[in-house]
Structure 1
Amino acid sequence: MPGQTYAMGDAHGDGVRADGEQPVHDVRIPAFRIDATSVTVAGFRSFIEATGFRTDAERYGWSAVFHLALTDPDHVAGRMHGTPWWLGVEGADWAHPGGPSDTAVDDHPVVHVSWNDAQAYCSWAGRRLPSEAEWEAAARGGLASRRYPWGDELPEDGHAVNIWQGDFPVRNTGADGWITTAPVRSFQPNGYGLWQAVGNVWEWCADWFSPVYYAQSPVDDPRGPSTGSAKVIRGGSYLCHDSYCNRYRNAARSSNTPDSSTGNTGFRTVAA
């Protein structure tokens, strides 16, 4: 990615106030190198085989699976409070995304990885997680203040991004070709060569999350608050839909605790 100054944040008023996507503010970042895709199942397996690392999901014995992705109904430990379409599934992890009988596909993004797991991978690979400002610059692909990596509008044919199509959370038509994750090199890359910066899977960033940080952010290479309870995730996922989670946008942001893992969260890395 070239060094640049760009307008970070939601210029269209699309975001939820609690997410803190505004005010739009200039940030200046130096050049950096970022993965063209989310880290794949195959790439993460190489890390596991080399180190013997056990992910948070494996240590806890369960992870969060979307109800339509469930493969093992007899392994459901419970439903998530407030979001009953999320199930706590015993044996769900990076290698078994739908449950213990499911097998992850090598060219899909690895999921069920916590921020802690992503950090461990980065340490092994000699990489790091992107700052939130780096992530957004890369996702924008050189297009200033656009909603999406390709422009402001979703193509009518639905074939630009892997998101939910249908009635959330009960029926996904799969009009984009996928019900859950898609291979990392699906659709088209943006102007910087990044594949699926939005949709498919949420991606961890290095920063702590704060909904008021943008009002305090420095211009030069911001790295987020010094402390917090949750880490930033970016890009939305295959579960995003206008009726519930309109976060498959360049400016959209959310968060989760560093030890949390779900079937729609992965990561990409940058050069250390």
Structure 2
Amino acid sequence: MQVDVVGWVLLADGEGGEGMKKHDVAISVAEEDKEVAYAIAAQLKKLKVRYYYYDEHKDNWGKYLINLTMDAYGRHTKYVLMITSRAFVQKYWSGIERQVALSRLPQGDILQLRLDDTQVDGLSAHMIYEDWKDNPEEIARLLKEKIGRKKWLVWARLMKICTSLLVLLMAVMSWYWAYMWYYHRHFAQTYVLVAGARPFFISNVEVTVAAYREYCMLTHKVFPEQPIHSVDSMPVRNVTWEEAKAYCAYVKGRLPSELEWETAAQGGESTVYSGGTSAVNVAVYHKVKPAFVGRKKANALGIYDMSGNVAEWCEDWADSAKTMKVVKGGGYDSEVEELAVKSRREERPEARLRDVGFRVVKDQ
């Protein structure tokens, strides 16, 4: 006596997977044939299979029968066992249970146990589970095997999904680390020689969030809170002039003077912006946040972002009263005219500004 059911599925309906089910099997039977249901239920209980049969559930009292039917023969069961006979097709409520099951479950989850040859609408020949031969033990055992197979398929599918997600995650992480390697390989901070009457070296990129955080950790200083959207490869911001000067001293450097800054920005050329005459090509501006350092075109000396991205502290006082410091370069939120090499602004040295960072100069 073989099971003849086509198609195994993992979800009973759109409202949840196997973990949402209350019952492994729900039994639908006419009143006249309930002794068959009792016999099968007793064997299911011995096998520790969760089943639903209306007569045996104490929590049915006071509940709407249609709600119980919708739950037991739809959302909350893996399989429905329909014990069919001439009485089954004549009973009103058996018909309701059958329609609910057919409308809410895949056909392969509705199992027909025939007590006679009565044809039942909606239950085709390939859904016949087994003819009744007074063998509840065998039917219960076959049901348990079928349930176990479905659970295995659920776990297999979950494992497949998890494996796919893991492969995707590994691919994303591999791409990320490859990108970061490439980025740091090409845009790691180096020092560029600026020739002239008094030669000096200047960092090719602005001091980054990552570099300044490492400095704070090594010196036990408080890392200044960064504006939203800041990441390690962006220029550090919210750093006062004194803090920028202290960082430069730690790496055996200093802040550039205004003249040194302009000389490095020009790079031996006579352009409006550092790196060219087109602000779009050389500067990050009119944005809501800075970019990673080194994203735009460098100037002739290989120095990035001296126009745009973040403005930069200089060593010089901007006024004779020595209350304001020079800031050069314009930032990510600047107007285009503020990006010019000759443009300057004045800020209080104790100020923490969301669009101001700095770079380092060394004398040798």
Distance 1:159 1:135 in 2: 20
Distance 2:349 2:232 in 1: 25
Distance 1:33 1:50 in 2: 24
Partner of 2:306: 197
Partner of 1:239: 333
How many Å apart are 1:159 and its aligned residue?
A: 4.0
Distance 1:198 1:153 in 2: 11
The CA deviation string for residues 8-63 of structure 1, in whole angstroms up to 9 with x for no partner, is: xxxxxxxxxxxxxxxxxxxxx411000000000111011100011136xx5xxxxx
Distance 2:292 2:323 in 1: 31
Partner of 2:272: 147
Distance 1:266 1:126 in 2: 18
Superposed, which structure 2 residues align to 1:1-272 within 5 Å? 1-4=193-196, 29-54=197-222, 93=225, 96-98=226-228, 104-144=230-270, 146-154=271-279, 158-164=280-286, 179-210=288-319, 228-242=322-336, 246-272=337-363
The CA deviation string for residues 48-81 of structure 1, in whole angstroms up to 9 with x for no partner, is: 00011136xx5xxxxxxxxxxxxxxxxxxxxxxx
Letter paired with 2:211: G
Distance 1:129 1:160 in 2: 22
SS of aligned partner of 1:34 = strand
**Any conservation in 1 of the 2:276–2:299 contact (CA below 8 Å)?**
no
How many Å apart are 1:97 and its aligned residue?
A: 1.3
Letter paired with 1:161: A
The CA deviation string for residues 105-129 of structure 1, in whole angstroms up to 9 with x for no partner, is: 1111000111011011112111100
Distance 2:217 2:342 in 1: 36
If the length of structure 2 is used for normalisation, what is the TM-score? Answer: 0.45
Cα RMSD (Å) = 1.8
SS of aligned partner of 1:133 = helix
More helix by share: 2
| Unpaired segments ≥5 residues, structure 1 | 5-28, 59-92, 165-173, 211-224
Distance 1:195 1:48 in 2: 24
**Any conservation in 1 of the 2:194–2:202 contact (CA below 8 Å)?**
no
SS of aligned partner of 2:250 = helix
SS of aligned partner of 1:183 = coil
The CA deviation string for residues 125-144 of structure 1, in whole angstroms up to 9 with x for no partner, is: 11100111000000011103
Distance 1:196 1:47 in 2: 22
Letter paired with 1:263: R
Letter paired with 1:120: A
Letter paired with 1:51: T
Distance 1:111 1:229 in 2: 21
Distance 1:2 1:122 in 2: 18
The CA deviation string for residues 230-262 of structure 1, in whole angstroms up to 9 with x for no partner, is: 1111000011114xxx21011111111111011
Distance 2:194 2:211 in 1: 26
Partner of 1:215: none
C-alpha change, 1:38 and 1:241, in structure 2 (3 Å) is same
How many residue pairs match? The answer is: 171
Partner of 1:74: none
**Any conservation in 1 of the 2:241–2:350 contact (CA below 8 Å)?**
yes
How many Å apart are 1:188 and its aligned residue?
A: 1.3
Distance 1:42 1:231 in 2: 25
The CA deviation string for residues 187-222 of structure 1, in whole angstroms up to 9 with x for no partner, is: 111001101111000100001013xxxxxxxxxxxx
Which structure's CA Rg is the greater one?
A: 2
If the length of structure 1 is used for normalisation, what is the TM-score? Answer: 0.59
